[in-house]
């Protein structure tokens, strides 16, 4: 049985990893709003349980097991956020509530909610709901926009350029040094900064 705080840690580390932020103890502690000392203690514990490798002063790398768990919780978190959004719950509360709910949602219920909010054809049983940020697509890979997070200005701008929900986009390539992504959408080519791209969530194809 995994405790909630273990899940919370793995989710956070996975999120940092996905964003490409270095998974150092400092970063993890800052993201979780805990003291670095207590984070260190917890990370050592997680290392013992085989979720990650911990190097003092360097930070952590998730093992396959750790990645799997982190990804699952983060996925549940996003599905719950989306679901709470459709209920008309204020944005300010959504994140907090989703943080609570993510630990208590069984797989089949998650899938049902996912189908409800996405309005897609039923997923085959066992298939993961694969909503990922655009930045995790590979060069040449296609995805269908699920939703766009972030500020009103940026999301409006993206929508104006044709990035509306349920639109297909192709990642052409991404620049070096964590640079922007070149994408193709509605017959035009756009460059999207990495920060912006990490808030565009797609279902990978």
Taking the complex as a whole, the smallest distance from the CB of residue 5 to other proteins amounts, in Å, to 31
CA angle 64, 52, 174 (to 5 degrees): 60
- Judged by CB under 8 A, the number of residues near other proteins is 42
Q: Considering only residues 45, 61, 85, 120, which one is a binding residue for other proteins as defined by CB under 8 A?
A: 85
Task: Kindly write out the interface string for residues 161-200 of this chain, putting x where it contacts other proteins by CB under 8 A and - elsewhere.
Answer: xx-xxxx-----x-xxxxxx-x---xxxxxxxxxxx----
Nearer to other proteins, 36 or 180 (CB): 180
Smallest separation (angstroms) from other proteins to the CB of 199: 9
State yes or no: residue 82 binds other proteins (CB under 8 A). yes
Q: How far is the CB of 161 from other proteins (least distance, A)?
A: 6
| Subset of 96-155 contacting other proteins (CB under 8 A) | 117, 147-148, 151-155
With respect to other proteins, which residue has the nearer C-beta, 125 or 153? 153
Beta carbons within 8 Å of 10's beta carbon, 6+ residues apart: 46, 51, 62, 66, 69, 70, 73
State in angstroms the smallest separation of the CB of 194 from other proteins: 7
Give yes or no for residue 58 binding other proteins (CB under 8 A): no
Interface with other proteins by CB under 8 A: which residues?
Answer: 82, 85-86, 88, 117, 147-148, 151-162, 164-167, 173, 175-180, 182, 186-196
């Amino acid at each position: 049985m995994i405790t909630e705080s273990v899940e919370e840690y793995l989710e956070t580390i996975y999120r940092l990893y996905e964003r490409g932020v270095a998974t150092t103890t400092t970063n993890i502690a800052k993201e979780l709003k805990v003291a670095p000392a207590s984070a260190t203690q917890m990370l050592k514990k997680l290392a013992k349980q085989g979720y990650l490798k911990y190097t003092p002063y360097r930070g952590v790398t998730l093992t396959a097991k750790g990645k799997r768990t982190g990804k699952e919780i983060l996925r549940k978190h996003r599905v719950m956020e989306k679901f709470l959004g459709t209920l008309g719950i204020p944005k300010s509360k959504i994140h907090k509530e989703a943080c609570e709910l993510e630990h208590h949602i069984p797989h089949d219920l998650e899938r049902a909610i996912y189908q409800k909010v996405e309005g897609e054809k039923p997923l085959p049983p066992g298939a993961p709901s694969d909503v990922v940020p655009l930045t995790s697509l590979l060069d040449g890979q296609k995805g269908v926009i699920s939703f766009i997070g972030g500020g009103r200005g940026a999301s409006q701008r993206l929508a104006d350029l044709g990035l509306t929900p349920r639109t297909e986009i192709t990642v052409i390539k991404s620049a070096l040094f964590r640079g922007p992504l070149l994408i193709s959408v509605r017959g035009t080519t756009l460059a999207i900064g990495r920060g912006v791209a990490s808030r565009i969530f797609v279902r990978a194809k």
